[in-house]
Structure 1
Amino acid sequence: MARTLFHKHDGGHLGQHEDWYYLVDNEDGSRHVEYEWDHVSVNGGGKSEGTRRFTLNDFLGGGKATAISKLKALLDKGG
């Protein structure tokens, strides 16, 4: 299984909200998008982190606009 990072977002005034988007090529030839996040509240409100998996069609139909455009560019390059 190969993972290609195609978009990263750092948010928050301290960079405490991080998001990563990967195109995953599975051994069976199928592909999917993995979205990982790590969000920390600087006010002591806790932490949210995790991973979510999307089919390509689901992600292209409902993901974040910037990440969608970067995925499309990667796919257009043959990635």
Structure 2
Amino acid sequence: MRITKLFKAAILFVFLGAFSFAFSNAKQMSEISYKIQYMIGNRQAKELVQFLGSLDFEKLTLIEKADYIIALSEL
């Protein structure tokens, strides 16, 4: 009986370690990407046009550039 409790506890720690490793590698969305996707989802076209106009496309990351292009196609 004691062995099964230890075995269950060991399996639990292995799964917790695997899940924490899997989620620690997930990248968080940048603030720019979040704002773009939020404005697209809430149909805020005027605000989105103003926000996109204020951005310097050359300084954006690749993912932010992709969100920028998607936003333009949604307008």
How does the TM-score come out when normalised to structure 1?
Answer: 0.35
TM-score under structure 2 length normalisation: 0.37
Asked which structure has the greater CA Rg, the reply is: 2
The structure where helix makes up a greater share of residues is: 2
> Would you tell me which structure has more strand in proportion to its own residues?
1
